[in-house]
Amino acid sequence: MSEFHLLIADWYRQTKRDLPWRNTNDPYFIWLSEVILQQTRVDQGIPYYYRFIEHFPHVDDLAAADLQSVLNLWQGLGYYSRARNLHQTAKFISSELNGVFPASYAELLTLKGIGPYTAAAVASFAFNENVPVVDGNVYRVLARHFDIDTPINSTAGAKLFKSLAENLIHPKHPALHNQAIMEFGALQCTPKNPKCSTCVLQGSCLAFANKTVQERPVKTKKQTVRNRFFHYLVFHVNAHTYIQQRKGRDIWEELFQFPLIETENDSPLTEIPWAQMNQVLEISAPITHLLSHQRISARFYHIHSSEVKPETDWILIQNAALQDFPIPRLIDKYLERHSL
């Protein structure tokens, strides 16, 4: 048994947080929690987890729900493709596998939206399969403990860290080992200000010895960020407004929004095909919304008009009904401060 495993397992037993998905072996609940926690902080994810298991206590319940109600519950978490994949995979498990979750890493990997990380988490936490979980926390702990300068987001890095994690995992306690190293990265060996002075691994940590903790892990340069300029048209038509559903392979697919004009630069619109400029009551200051590879600058145009000729995909709704539609977080944030 490796010293590394003994130390973090012992640390985990004493320090772990009591998180709701840790008190279950149900692969459906574990899968839900893992999908929610991708790109989401634990404290932000907990209410969503409770909401989902309350509305959909079994994978068959999630499968039977319509997509819009799933997206509504997901609202605020961002990265909506996660919710769509969740729903699609639930339908597949319910209809093709009689509601029974696949019980191995290899089978889990064949499901839509389940990559190596989620498959390893579900296989080890629910079925105690001997497969390592390698998430951002694990990369960081390993890169520091073994003082590795191979970029974690390179092909060579992915291979190296995976094989290191495979060598370290305890074959009889894979779930405990995976939970422990992930929690260790989340609480002790944190991205900023790791708690080296109280660390149980300090004696064997090579980055600590070599004073390279702040330089680990190494990442190759980030992908360039695409700037986009959105102009939302908020029509005021006798306490009604128009919305449209986003289509095509783009961000926020199938969510609803005010009719949108996208331009190549940040300048406000000087003409709007469906209205006269003197009907524009107000133009908001640009609001910036950051996604992983896109920076969106959005303006909202409040337009008073009772005679709009709508496009075929526009839907006229009462202002108050807007809350029943899943909308991007950017619009949600705007509406928190500006009621219709």
Contact with ligand SF4 (CB under 6 A) among 13, 51, 112, 195: 195
x/- contact string, 42-81, with ligand SF4 (CB under 6 A)? Answer: ----------------------------------------
For β-strands 240-245 and 256-257, DSSP reports them as antiparallel
Stretch in the footprint of ligand SF4 (CB under 6 A) among 3-11, 151-159, 188-196, 224-232: 188-196
Using CA atoms, how far apart are residues 316 and 307, in angstroms rounded to an integer?
12
DSSP notation for 118-159: HHHHHHHHHH--S-----HHHHHHHHHHTT--S-TTSHHHHH
Helix locations, 56-202, DSSP H: 59-64, 67-74, 81-96, 105-109, 116-127, 136-145, 155-168, 174-187
Choose between 196 and 291: whose C-beta lies nearer to ligand SF4.
Answer: 196
x/- contact string, 105-144, with ligand SF4 (CB under 6 A)? Answer: ------------------------------------x--x
Site for ligand SF4 in 196-235 (CB under 6 A): 196, 199, 201-202, 205, 207-208, 213
Instruction: Give the total of residues touching ligand SF4 (CB under 6 A).
Output: 15
Catalytic: 34? yes
Contact with ligand SF4 (CB under 6 A) among 45, 157, 194, 259: 194
Dig out the tokens for 204 from the structure.
């064997």
Choose between 164 and 199: whose C-beta lies nearer to ligand SF4.
Answer: 199
Dig out the tokens for 313 from the structure.
């995909």
Pick the closest to residue 133 from 107, 105, 172 (CA basis): 105
Choose between 90 and 213: whose C-beta lies nearer to ligand SF4.
Answer: 213
Choose between 6 and 97: whose C-beta lies nearer to ligand SF4.
Answer: 6
Using CA atoms, how far apart are residues 295 and 284, in angstroms rounded to an integer?
18
Q: Which residues fall within 8 angstroms of residue 128, CB to CB, at 6 or more apart?
A: 174, 175
Contact with ligand SF4 (CB under 6 A) among 31, 122, 123, 145: 145
Choose between 169 and 205: whose C-beta lies nearer to ligand SF4.
Answer: 205
Question: Is there binding between residue 182 and ligand SF4 (CB under 6 A)?
Answer: no
For the chain, helix, strand, coil in percent to 5 are 45, 15, 40
CB of 188 to ligand SF4, least distance (A): 5
Using CA atoms, how far apart are residues 30 and 36, in angstroms rounded to an integer?
10
CB of 214 to ligand SF4, least distance (A): 9
Q: Do residues 132 and 101 touch, judged by C-beta distance below 8 A?
A: no
Choose between 81 and 210: whose C-beta lies nearer to ligand SF4.
Answer: 210
Using CA atoms, how far apart are residues 118 and 107, in angstroms rounded to an integer?
12
Choose between 119 and 207: whose C-beta lies nearer to ligand SF4.
Answer: 207
Helix count (H) and strand count (E) of the chain?
13, 8
Cα dihedral 149, 152, 153, 159 sign: positive
Q: Which residues fall within 8 angstroms of residue 120, CB to CB, at 6 or more apart?
A: 105, 131, 132, 133, 134, 178
Catalytic pick from 34, 129, 183, 307? 34
Q: Which residues bind ligand SF4 (CB under 6 A)?
A: 141, 144-145, 188-189, 194-196, 199, 201-202, 205, 207-208, 213
Residues with catalytic function: 34
